[in-house]
């Protein structure tokens, strides 16, 4: 388990570097298309550096605000606080900040940059539909993400994926700023420039690459967190029962977005079970392994 956690930390570093490099590449592509590659690359490097720094310190607050999470009052949500406190004592972890999201879909996520600066958010639907043992399994899963240092790269990915999407969208819009009404000499030159064509292609595929990288953030981490959670609670049937309820529930988590999808305990958005002709392609963008596979793994423990 310790070897897996160490490997997880190394992958986190490479993923963050990959996101930064992709942001710089998108900026270089935008500059090449606009006829000023040096300017585009410089702007992208500045943006990626600022966003990486900002996301390290503030991305947890961004994720919580985007999800419309509210602090969980200790009296109103006494069961939630008691369960987390007990698990933290058992796992030797500091108690994270707790939040509740008003959403009927049962789901939860952890965020933060390290165990001392972490938070767990659960939906009202999760609190209503899970019993005490099942809720303990889910909370142990989220605490495992904190203990395994999954939360840093997952939270930073929220900001960097959004940055890449915004940068490429702005670059493409700037290309057509005049709506085709005015033919500029630079446009004519760029239309025959192979590097400009490559840049334009990169602007199109950069968000797709970012989505695939985002999906890779959580797939193996979810399975590792499941196993860690069972070690923490010493009762696998609790998490298994919780995952079975999540599997049976088809409610879409409206508080989730494409940028935060990888953070939740299960795939929060609709359209993830496509088994048609493009099912294999769509699986590239699934941020979680199928719940059936996770349940089967836990049953073998």
Q: Are 168 and 160 in contact (CB under 8 A)?
A: no
| Distance of alpha carbon 26 from alpha carbon 205, whole angstroms | 9
Question: Per the structure block, which two tokens stand in for 2?
Answer: 């310790």
What's the chain's Rg over C-alpha atoms? 21
Residue 251, CA distances (Å) to 104, 106, 107, 279 in order = 7, 8, 10, 21
| Distance of alpha carbon 196 from alpha carbon 30, whole angstroms | 9
Residue recorded with tokens 């789901």: 107
Apex CA 13: angle with CA 290 and CA 264, to 5°? 30
Can you give the length of the chain in residues? Answer: 301
Cα within 13 Å of Cα(107), Cβ side: 26
Maximum Cα–Cα distance for the chain, whole Å?
Answer: 69
| Distance of alpha carbon 103 from alpha carbon 50, whole angstroms | 32
The active-site residue, picked from 74, 85, 134, 142, is: 142
- Identify the helix (H) or strand (E) that includes residue 8: helix 2-34
| Distance of alpha carbon 107 from alpha carbon 249, whole angstroms | 10
**DSSP symbol at 263:** G
| Calculated CA dihedral for residues 80, 152, 164, 99, nearest 10 degrees | 20
Q: In this structure, is the dihedral angle defined by the CA atoms of residues 219, 109, 50 and 43, taken in order, positive or negative?
A: positive
For the question of residue 128 being annotated catalytic, the response is no
Q: In this structure, is the dihedral angle defined by the CA atoms of residues 163, 256, 66 and 294, taken in order, positive or negative?
A: negative
Positions marked active-site: 142
């Amino acid at each position: 388990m310790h070897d897996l956690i160490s490997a997880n930390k190394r992958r986190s570093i490479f993923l963050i570097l990959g996101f930064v490099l992709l942001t710089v590449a998108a900026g270089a592509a935008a500059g090449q298309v606009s006829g000023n590659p040096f300017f585009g690359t410089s702007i992208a490097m500045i943006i990626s550096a600022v966003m990486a720094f900002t996301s390290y310190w503030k991305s947890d607050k961004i994720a919580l605000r985007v999800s419309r999470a509210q602090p969980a009052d200790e009296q109103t949500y006494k069961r939630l606080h008691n369960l987390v406190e007990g698990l933290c004592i058992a796992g030797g972890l500091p108690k994270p900040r707790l939040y509740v999201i008003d959403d009927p879909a049962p789901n939860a996520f952890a965020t933060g940059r390290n165990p001392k600066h972490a938070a767990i958010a659960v939906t009202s639907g999760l609190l209503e539909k899970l019993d005490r043992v099942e809720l303990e399994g889910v909370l142990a899963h989220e605490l495992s993400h904190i203990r395994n240092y999954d939360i840093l790269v997952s939270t930073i990915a929220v900001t960097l994926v959004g940055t890449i999407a915004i940068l490429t969208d702005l670059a493409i819009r700037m290309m057509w700023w005049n709506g085709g009404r005015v033919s500029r000499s630079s446009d004519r030159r760029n239309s025959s420039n192979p590097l400009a064509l490559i840049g334009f292609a990169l602007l199109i595929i950069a968000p797709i690459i970012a989505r695939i990288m985002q999906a890779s953030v959580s797939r193996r981490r979810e399975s590792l967190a499941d196993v860690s959670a069972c070690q923490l609670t010493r009762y696998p049937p609790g998490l298994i029962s919780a995952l079975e309820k999540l599997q049976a529930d088809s409610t879409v988590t409206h508080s989730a977005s494409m940028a935060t999808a990888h953070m939740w305990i299960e795939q929060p958005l609709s359209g993830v079970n496509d088994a048609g002709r493009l099912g294999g392609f769509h699986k590239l963008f699934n941020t979680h392994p199928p719940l059936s596979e996770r349940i089967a793994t836990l049953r073998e423990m």
